[in-house]
Amino acid sequence: MSASSPTAVIAATGLFTPEQSISNAELVAAYNAWAELENARNADEIAAGTREALTPSSVEFIEKASGIKSRFVLDKTGVLDPERMVPHLPERPNEDLSILAEMAVKAARDAIAAWGKPVSEIGAVLCAASNMQRPYPAMAIEVQQALGIEGFAFDMNVACSSATFGIKTAADFIASGSVKAVLMVNPEVCSAHLNFKDRDSHFIFGDVATAVIIESAEQAGPGGWDILGTRLKTTFSNNIRNNFGFLNNAAPEGIGKPDKMFVQQGRKVFKDVVPMVSEMIVSHANDLGLEPTELKRLWLHQANINMNEMIGRKVLGRDPAPSENVIILDEYANTSSAGSVIAFHLHQEGMVPGEVGLICSFGAGYSAGTVFVRKRG
């Protein structure tokens, strides 16, 4: 796919945001209450020096470390209960729409309404997210059925990079002539695989769902965004990991341990990912005949404000203005695969036809994806 003759277009996007939000102050109060209870339960060991006392969290610590101020969640009551520290999301009968599918359908309907075309023109559905609530049947097929879409559907998981990998996959399907339009959804219930009892990460994630419709440039109407080029990269690392899976049942002694949720070595991730992603962006731009310094907007993965600011400086060669390097993590926190799409969905204002921006995601794997887009007239 070349910058001069794009074959695929981002025609529309959609967003579903849960009604409930948790502020840093609320989250800190819950964590500190739990930590006090744990320290009291283990007072003898702490006094004997065989166990370290848990350190309180603080609003200042969270905002300095991440830039996050709040996050949306499906259920805040369970998260903020010091005796629970896990969202309460009851199982549903198989006949009911599942939780992730319901979120995805809401985001998809938002995108379809913006697109203004019938779903009969969509030939494929991709569910690209960091965690699926079951192995099979695929979440994407459930979404496909709920929306009345023909064709085919499947799930894909590349952690926080899932959306850009999904856009690339959709664009390639279109370029091959397999389909004329693809719906990609990114439902994320990150609160269900976050350890709210871990001071270093209890504030990181939020819940949300996004949707993107990618369409053949031949049939696309006015507006939207030409996809000038896509690029993917992976390199193995244990620095972001989640060991939850079906084999846990074969080793019950490990069930419930912290490694069955999100675990990361944050400083190592920062050190590894910032140069990897910055170099990837610059190299891809150069290969497309674009000057990185002329990018009008960066819609980056929303994991950490310090990481995004450094990537922005490395790519643009200067401190980006807030309007150039979009930040939504202050309100949404890290929403894994959905973050860069939220930024793109909410902050396209001021862009004029012909201007170029970048959708970029990165995360566990390590994995990274770049999607250069040009505003259409």
Residues 297, 328: Cα–Cα separation, whole Å: 14
Residues 127, 154: Cα–Cα separation, whole Å: 6
Q: Which residues, 6+ apart, have CB-to-CB distance to 301 below 8 Å?
A: 160, 161, 308, 339, 340, 360, 361, 362, 363
Annotated active-site residue 127? The verdict is no
Catalytic residue among 127, 160, 190, 360: 160
Residues 75, 95: Cα–Cα separation, whole Å: 22
DSSP secondary structure of 292-338: GGG-SEEEE--S-HHHHHHHHHHHHSSPPPTTTB---HHHH-B-GGG
Long-range pairs of 264-270 with CB within 8 A, sequence gap ≥ 24: 264/201, 264/239, 264/240, 264/364, 265/239, 265/240, 266/200, 266/201, 268/239, 269/239, 269/240, 270/304, 270/306, 270/307
CB 255 within 8 A of CB 347: no
Q: How far is CA 56 from CA 62, 136, 202, 205, 334, in A?
A: 12, 40, 12, 19, 22
**Looking at the DSSP assignment, which residues form a beta bridge with residue 209?**
16, 187
Residue 327's φ and ψ, nearest 5 degrees, are -120, 120
Instruction: Identify the CA nearest to 160 among candidates 125, 206, 196, 108.
Output: 206
Would you please indicate which residues are annotated as catalytic (active-site) residues?
A: 160
